[in-house]
Amino acid sequence: MILVLIALAAYLTAGWLHYRQASPAAGRWLPLPALALHAWALSGHVFLGGAITIGINEALSLFAWQSALLLWALCFREPLRALGTVVYPFAAVAMLLATLLPTPISDVTVGDWKARTHIVLSLLSAGLLTLAAVHAGVLALQERLLHDHRMTRMTRTLPPLQTMERLLFQLIAIGFLLLSLTLLSGMWFIRDWLAQHLAHKTVLSVTAWLIFAVLLWGRQRHGWRGRTAIRWTLTGYAMLVLAYFGSKLILEQILGTHWS
């Protein structure tokens, strides 16, 4: 628990430094020990006896850790530090929730390389599209502040709107590719949609895929940007959240079963 508290403090401090745009070196490297300790805490909850045990809180913590890790890596190349104000505190809360309220419900064996590949692709796509959703939220706030001619710390430190939109579509494009591979690799495991309780999850995931596909097409064909891009991004991400967390909540907490 002490190590978890250390990670919590490191995450929150990194988020604060990113918000204040202070100590660039410290803000860049401080998330690293938090990410390492978060991964250690997750391994104790998730990987048990050669199986993956994931409840809702563990899944949320995995999503948050993946997003924080990707943000930390991307910040070395792109001006995405402002996202740390949201992503790092979110990772801290998700980590603490999984530690205090573990929910080891479903067990998925990971001995098969196909299962491992699907899980890795799923985490990568979820992490990138989570970052894209956070980025879209920050972009919406930036656009509103600029429209109202309010010069805040955020408007002064964020990149120009055109740069923010370019970064948004880069995140979406890579996340969409990984989501496509995730859906294709998931076909390996489908034997009976109804018996495996996968019908609703698959429908929602495919709906999210279609939304992101239309968004990328609209950007390429019609130059979609601004509020249109933001709305489509957040709608697609909402479908993904419903596909995983909504389905998992209904199956585990209400029906008392899980995906198989």
* Domain locations in the chain as residue ranges: 1-111, 113-260
How far is Cα 38 from Cα 65, in angstroms, rounded to an integer?
Answer: 7
Per DSSP, helices labelled H in the chain are: 2-20, 24-29, 31-46, 56-74, 84-100, 113-147, 153-157, 161-186, 199-222, 226-241, 247-249
Write the DSSP symbol of residue 83: G
Scan for tokens 């938090």, then name that residue: 34
Rounded Cα–Cα distance for residues 226 and 229 (Å) = 6
Q: What is the CA radius of gyration of the chain?
A: 19
Per-residue pLDDT of the chain (260 residues; tens, 9 = 90+): 888 999 999 999 999 988 887 777 777 899 999 999 999 988 887 766 555 667 778 888 988 998 999 999 988 888 888 889 999 999 999 999 988 887 655 555 555 666 667 777 888 898 899 999 999 999 999 888 888 777 776 667 778 888 899 999 999 999 999 999 999 987 776 655 544 456 677 888 999 999 999 999 999 999 999 999 999 999 999 999 888 776 565 545 544 444 44
Under 8 Å between Cβ of 171 and 126: no
- Contact by Cβ (8 Å): 126, 63: yes
How big is the chain, counted in residues?
260
Question: In terms of C-beta density within 10 A (0-12 exposed, 13-18 middle, 19 or more buried), how is residue 196 classed?
Answer: middle
The distance between the two most distant Cα atoms of the chain, rounded to a whole number of Å, is 57
